Chains A and B, each alone.
Chain A
């Protein structure tokens, strides 16, 4: 009966989330202002120098071709962020549309969409991406497209169940008895109410996409050779693990930090707004 007032402590942002947000912000700045921040060109090869451990000139050392590792990591933020953003946005758009239709209309539409989702679930995600990119070609952007479609399947289920929760509420019934159009009910009434849940999952999608794309790059199916990319750096710098470990560890740490930060933020958003 007597609902206790929401305490102030629940509203404060925890310190971990602040740190995570700070890390993500730093990544975004690197991605946008790469040229201005990087101490050196990421492409300049110094074949005579080869791989060197960290030194005052090259803070993170150089790779096999003598390129500055730190600069490559900073430039790498771009492919690390752009792809996952596109994947998350694409998955969001597909999932929202399908989920809204499926949940609100029900019946045949619902069955058809859900069978499609079931089919997508049955596919082993990264493997499909490998096959498609291998057969069709197109590298990075093909992989992004495939992941967006694959990620939309679980999100569609989430959106659908959120819609099913809203649908029987009287405010929807009231809109229906007023003769408000279906499109308006879907996008003006239901969508804003389920947006927090979708947002939380989109952030989680981003983290998954980042790891998946890095994995594909590692396998040589992502970005073009030579592009500064964290996943690709893992692959290229395997052989110099002992001469300059930083060249391998730094991109690995970046992938982990970004993915964990986004996961934390996504979880927190979900706890905070969607429950």
Chain B
């Protein structure tokens, strides 16, 4: 590759970002940020939702949405990008800077064949004027991203899986051989196993091409295992910068430490996860103090007087914590503290008296031209009273369909469901009394915290309605009952008057749990209840699930794609693959000793920590 040689001859960093501040009108979204990307280097910008990381990526590529303005200086190889006219910038995009977006399905034009996306990028290069030359090059480019099946180039995006789409998008982004690739959550929308493949591919391509990479992600583990340098962004300001290995081993900012500690480990079950209290603030609300002050265990008055700026603490390390030197000892001690783990006493292998029993369940949907599509195919499982069972599988495996059949939102095509001794296969065929009993025995928690509550009802109305549906409810729900439900999920009684729009994702999910608890169910079916939440909030909600299980003797069917989450919650897991259960057993043994090839792939796809834990 001759371009590589030419690039290596130049000096200085490829990209420097100085004092980049993004604002929406008068409302600041980020404080001035600095970033340096060396040639051939991979950096990660890590942040939770609302940190401003995606807008930062867009600002660098000159693609900010209307109404959002950026000030500062972005210099790419000596070119001041922020001062370029749109016409000039267009020549830079694609050929010098390329972007890879989160959602592979919306990133490709639905009316263009996948090969044409790459072809389009090659068109204005003189060496590919002829159609045949371009076709040859498209083939080569697709092969680079691991697509060897030539048929793929002729297919439409909707005929491809998410992982395939992302590969095509990557090939298109790389088609003009950019010096810098900005990947904005490139794997978040994909299944765990595909995620690992895409990230591996991204790393390989980056190294082979000696290209610079900015990876935007919320996933610390992913950032550490992929990139050399880490920028931690929180509520619009940079809190910590350093090399991946040293940041992971010895974080200099309480927030980074909190993130590292709150991520559930996959290898051990912890007695209690370590959450960060509260939720992520908006950048504008913390303009005059340390953004993390309200959630920090080491906060003093100093932290609230003015915004601390990023300061060098080491040759290569920066932190925005002004108390770092005082508290580093404590941070280190917490970081190094070995995980204590809680062994589970395995239950006896009895299946009599199961709370939920599913036998050879089949659910088919009518697809296009009335062709049946089998969502679940002969699934059998059981859940004992008080037991917490995990159901692991990727999207399309049928896990949500199974959950919806259990709570009567779908009617199975064949098979039997027995809940609390009552046949609950077809809710419409049950007597009214039986249906009422089942409704109160089994409740569901949904994935999306933003639409799980009726936006027009206050929290009190939502809980009151649920209380009205519980057994023997004759009088209207009293404020005391609502307050005690709120207390159950760790929220103050004053929340009864709040509306969903004023609540954070974590709070909404708590309300949804309280609503389900109102009818005193024996089992909760939880469909990815924490996957839409910020990492620092996930641990809070997982702890809540564990506490509620102990206090209310609840059973769980915990549906997730995240093995680390299921490790913390479930005693026993089922692995669902293409509508069938391929493996089942105690969580411990399935994760440490997977037998089915799919389970093995799933376990291997978890980004590994660079540092070994103390045994």
Contact = CB atoms under 8 A, between A and B. Distances in A.
Interface in A16-69: none
A130 B467 CA distance: 55
B50 A174 contact: no
State which size class the interface on A falls in.
20 to 34
B436 A7 contact: no
Given A2-B52, A174-B515, A177-B443, A189 B409 contact: no
Interface of B: 24-25, 27, 29, 49-55, 65, 67-68, 102, 185, 282, 284, 404, 407-409, 435-436, 439-440, 442-444, 446-448, 451-457, 465-466, 469, 512, 515-516, 518-519
A173 interface: yes
A2 B456 contact: no
Nearest to A5: B27
A116 interface: no
Contact of B452 (A4, A171, A192): A171
Interface in A104-151: none
Interface in A185-206: 189, 192-193
A5 B448 CA distance: 21
B469 A178 contact: yes
A193 B448 contact: no
Contact of A180 (B25, B447, B469): B469
B408 A177 contact: yes
Nearest to A171: B454
14 contacts: A1-B50, A1-B102, A2-B29, A5-B24, A5-B284, A7-B67, A171-B452, A171-B453, A171-B454, A173-B404, A174-B444, A178-B439, A178-B465, A178-B519
B49 A1 contact: yes
Nearest to B440: A179
A176 to B, nearest CB: 6
Contacts of B284: 5
9 closest residue pairs by CB, A with B: A170-B446, A179-B439, A192-B456, A1-B54, A4-B24, A170-B452, A178-B469, A169-B451, A171-B454
B448 A170 contact: yes
Contact of B466 (A170, A173, A178): A178
Contacts of A9: 25
Contacts, number: 85
A179 B435 contact: yes
Query: Which secondary structure dominates chain A's binding surface?
Result: helix
Contact of A7 (B24, B282, B440): B24
B414 to A, nearest CB: 21
Contact of A177 (B24, B67, B102, B439): B439
Interface of A: 1-5, 7-9, 169-171, 173-180, 189, 192-193
A179 B469 contact: yes
A170 B465 contact: no
Contact of A176 (B49, B54, B409, B457): B409
Given A174-B515, A178-B518, A192-B454, 15 more contacts: A1-B49, A1-B185, A2-B50, A2-B55, A5-B282, A7-B24, A7-B27, A169-B451, A170-B447, A174-B446, A176-B409, A177-B442, A179-B435, A179-B439, A179-B469
A170 B457 CA distance: 14
Contact of B54 (A2, A5, A177, A189): A2
A180 to B, nearest CB: 6
Contacts of A171: 451-455
A173 B525 CA distance: 13
A179 B436 contact: yes
Contacts of B185: 1
A157 to B, nearest CB: 23
Nearest to B409: A173
Given A4-B29, A4-B67, A177 B455 contact: no
> Looking at A169, A171, A180, which has the most chain B CB atoms within 10 Å of its CB?
A171
Contacts of B518: 178
B456 A193 contact: yes
A4 B448 CA distance: 20
Contacts of B519: 178
A197 to B, nearest CB: 13
A171 B453 CA distance: 5
Nearest to A176: B409
A182 to B, nearest CB: 12
Contacts of B29: 2, 4
A173 B67 contact: no
Nearest to A189: B454
Contacts of B53: 1-2
Nearest to B27: A5
A171 B462 CA distance: 10
Contacts of A178: 439, 443, 465-466, 469, 515, 518-519
B49 A7 contact: no
Nearest to A1: B54
Contacts of A173: 404, 409, 444, 446
